[in-house]
Amino acid sequence: MGSQAADDHSNGVSSRHYIRWDSEGVQSIPSNEAEDIKAVAEMINSIQRTQFNKARHCFSGTHARTQGVVKGKLIVGDLSSHLAQTLFSHPGEYPICMRYSTEPGDPGLDDRIPQPRGLGIKVFKVDGEMFEAGKDFPTHDIEFNSTPALDLADAKTTREIVDLRIKYGKARDEVHNTHLTSIRYYSQTAYRYGDFIVKYSLVPSSEVQKKQYQEAVKPDSHPDNILSSWVKEFYANNEAEYLFQVQLCENLEDQPVEYAGKTWDDEKYPWQTVAKIVVPKQDSMIPARKTFWEDHIRLDPFQGLKSFEPIGSPNRLRRVVYPASAALRHELNGRKEVNMTSIDQLPDGGYVEC
C-alpha cells in the first residue's frame, strides 16, 4: 500500500479528470420516483410477511440467508491525493465485522440454487461528518454484491422487477455458484467518494481464495447448506485477504450514476486499490453472532459518513426501504435495533443479551 502514490503517478491515473460528486447532471430525480419508492418498500414488507408466515420469524427483505459472520480489519495505506478521500483519507486500521449472505429474502433458500451473493461490512472507529441518523455511533456500513451491475437499476425498474418476483418467484440463476470467500464483490451502485464519485469492489487476493473460485457447487452431491459449510471450513483453516478497490467516474454518459444496470468499463476506467482487508482464522458461524446480526442489526450507509454517501436512484430507494424493512423485522420479532459503537458488541459465543 505504501507505493500506491508512486504507482499512480507512473501509470497516469492521478492526473485524469475525475467528476466531482456535486457537479450538474450527476443526479436527476424523476417526478414520480417517490411513488415508486413507496411501492417498493411496501413490496419488500410483503415479502417479509410471507416469510414470517412460513417461519414465524421475520428476516430482512433481501439478503435473508446468513452464510457467515466474521471479524477482521480494514488497512488503509499512503495514497495519492485523488484516492486519499473520505474513509481512506489517511493511513490507519479500522476494526470491521462482515456478514456473507444470499441475496433473496428467503432464509431457507437452498445453497445449490445459483443466486447473487452479498457481503456486508460494518467499519468501526470512523471519523468525519456523519448523517444525522448515525451521529451518535462512529461506524460506516459498506455493502457488496457478487454481480457488478444491478438489475434493480432505478426506482421504476425495481418496482417492476420486485412485482414480478412476488407474482412468479422469478430468480436469477446465471451466476457461478462457488465459494463465497473466493468471489469478487461489487457496490453495483455509485457513491460519493470525498470530492469524487466511485463504484467500489472487494477482490480476493490470497492464493487459497483464488484457487477456490475454480470449484463449483454440485447439486447432485452437495448438501443444501454447502456455502455456509465452505465458509466455516475456510475460516477454520485460513486467513482471508481482500483488496478494496475503487473505480472513479470520468464520463456520466459512459458511467451513469442514476442507472445502475450498466457496468462501468474497467479498461477505460481502471480499478485502483485503496485498502486491504484481512480476516483471521475464526469460527464463521457462531450462533449468537448470527442471531445478533439477524435480529438486531441494520446495515445502512445512510447512517455513516456523508463523504461516502450512496447516490443515484437505487440508493435513494434504499434510503427508504432499509429502515422500513428493519422496522418491520424488529417489530414482528419483538427485538430492538442495536446501533453498534464497538466491535466488542458482536458476540464471540454464549447467548444474545438484548
Number of H helices, E strands in the chain: 7, 9
Centroid of chain to Cα 266:
20
| pLDDT over 80 (residue 2) | no
When comparing pLDDT for 175 and 279, which is higher?
279
CB 186 within 8 A of CB 147: yes
Residues 202 and 242: beta-carbon distance below 8 Å: yes
pTM over 0.95: no
pLDDT, mean of residues 152-170: 62
Q: In which element (H, E) is residue 275 found?
A: strand 272-279
Q: Are 137 and 115 within 8 A, CB to CB?
A: no
Q: How does the average pLDDT of the chain come out, rounded?
A: 91
**Gap between the Cα atoms of 267 and 283, Å rounded:** 38
CA distances from residue 44 to 39, 59, 165, 269, 290 in whole angstroms, order as listed: 9, 11, 11, 34, 22
Structural contact between residues 311 and 257, judged by C-beta atoms closer than 8 angstroms: yes
- Residue ranges and CATH numbers for the domains of the chain are 4-339 (2.40.180.10)
- Residues 269-305: tens digit of each pLDDT: 999 999 999 999 999 999 999 999 999 999 999 999 9
Q: What is the pLDDT of residue 349?
A: 87
